[in-house]
Amino acid sequence: MGGLLAELGKKIADRWFTLLVLPGLLYVAALAAAHALGHAHPFDARRVTDRLETVDADAASAAGLALLGAYLLAAATAGLTAQSLGSLVERLWLAADWAGWPPPLRQLAALRTRGRHRRWTEAVSNYHETREKAAAAHVRARLAANPPIPARPGPALSSPLPSPRELAHRKILRIAAEPPTRPTWMGDRLNDATVRLNRDLGLDLATVWPYLWLTAPDTTRTEIIAARETLTRATTLAGWGLLYLAVAALWWPGLPIAAAVLVTAWRRARTACDMYALLVEATAHLQSADLAHRLGLEPTGPITRETGTALTDLVRTRPPQLDGPVQTVW
């Protein structure tokens, strides 16, 4: 047992050093270089080398050791700050509790949610109009008196162009698959799984998920944990991007660096959020029948809405009954 705990502690320490301290060392070095260069001489490398020569001259002294310790401490502090900022960014991007945000963030989130819902409604209306036009054109072609002229043979296209209906459907998915209720795409992507499971299977995902998680196979849980950790790493990268804005305040080339880090983090977070939501929804579809069987519901065949509703009611916590006298324990 002691060896297991020691190995686990070693892995945690290695991971903490890799994910936080090493990027922190790079950040502190970039911040020191930005302070040495400034806006007036952004590419004068001699300023940095002169500063490094001064540090090398004092490296063997007590002041140099203190400077090295301060450097390591600053790197660790920067890593923890990036992690905290990443948690804040994750809360903003997922926006699960945006209705409880303080003003004016709540008003801005509500305005953006209404705008996304309006654009989604327009995209859905355009999709149905495009589908109706395509169906009408197909009927007209079938009712035409003249037979269609056979197409001349030509080079085969490796990737045919998407139809207008496919383009209209992609426009819907770029906003949200279900009616938007959150101000961000990532927030709606996670909420879409909950909406579909409730509508199609009668499952309240927040209520049933702990039971699904406990009965899911180890391989399934490993995949979900990996997807969730990928999302966390992406939001932590966004935290580093916010920290690099301090570098940009001292050295203007740091601004494109910070922008590149933030854009990369945003793209990775969207991909990870999509994968995480897909795995959660797939797990609910695959494991709900097994969970219902374990709880004695005995479903026959694929899980139905009636079975999902019964499963949710079975595991939902009910408030206490107040029919009899209330007993107070002091």
Note the pLDDT tens digit of each residue in 138-172. Answer: 677 776 745 555 545 545 445 567 888 888 899 99
User: Do 197 and 270 share a structural domain?
Assistant: yes
Q: Residues 6 or more apart from 72 whose CB is under 8 A from it?
A: 21, 25
Domain boundary among the residues 154, 183, 212 is at: 183
The token pair that represents 210 in the structure block: 């702990």
User: Do 73 and 19 share a structural domain?
Assistant: yes
User: 91: part of which helix (H) or strand (E)?
Assistant: helix 62-94
Residue 327 lies in a domain: no
The HSE-up count of residue 241 (CA atoms within 13 Å, CB side) is 20
The answer to which of 20-34, 45-59, 120-134, 252-266 has the lowest mean pLDDT is 45-59
Q: What average pLDDT is seen over the chain?
A: 83
Greater confidence, 14 or 316? Answer: 316
> How far is the C-alpha of 317 from the C-alpha of 60, rounded, in Å?
65
The token pair that represents 28 in the structure block: 């502190």
Residue 150 lies in a domain: no
User: Do 122 and 21 share a structural domain?
Assistant: no
User: Do 305 and 284 share a structural domain?
Assistant: yes
Residue 66 lies in a domain: yes
Q: What's the number of domains the chain is made of?
A: 3
Q: How confident is the model at residue 81 (pLDDT cuts 50, 70, 90)?
A: very high
User: Do 245 and 131 share a structural domain?
Assistant: no
**CA gyration radius, the chain:** 28
Q: Judge whether residue 8 has pLDDT over 50.
A: no
User: Do 59 and 28 share a structural domain?
Assistant: yes
User: Do 312 and 210 share a structural domain?
Assistant: yes
pLDDT (average), residues 283-291: 92
Residue 87 lies in a domain: no
Residue type, 317: T
User: Do 232 and 137 share a structural domain?
Assistant: no
The token pair that represents 298 in the structure block: 């005995």
On whether the CB atoms of residues 172 and 120 are closer than 8 A, the answer is yes
Q: Global pTM? A: 0.82
Residue 14 lies in a domain: yes
The answer to which of 29-43, 63-77, 81-95 has the lowest mean pLDDT is 63-77
Residue 264 lies in a domain: yes
Q: Judge whether residue 314 has pLDDT over 80.
A: yes
User: Do 305 and 237 share a structural domain?
Assistant: yes
The token pair that represents 175 in the structure block: 């906003």
User: Do 310 and 190 share a structural domain?
Assistant: yes
On whether the CB atoms of residues 231 and 273 are closer than 8 A, the answer is yes
Greater confidence, 289 or 324? Answer: 289
pLDDT tens string 191-226:
999 999 999 999 999 999 999 999 999 999 999 999
Distance of CA 108 to the CA centre of its chain: 21
The answer to which of 35-39, 115-119, 150-154 has the lowest mean pLDDT is 150-154
Helix-helix angle 185-201:205-215, to 10 degrees:
80
Greater confidence, 228 or 326? Answer: 228
User: Do 57 and 3 share a structural domain?
Assistant: yes
The token pair that represents 214 in the structure block: 């406990």
What is the span of the domain harbouring residue 173?
A: 102-143+163-183
Residue 323 lies in a domain: no
Residue 197 lies in a domain: yes
The count of other CB atoms within 10 Å of the CB of residue 220 is 17
User: Do 310 and 189 share a structural domain?
Assistant: yes
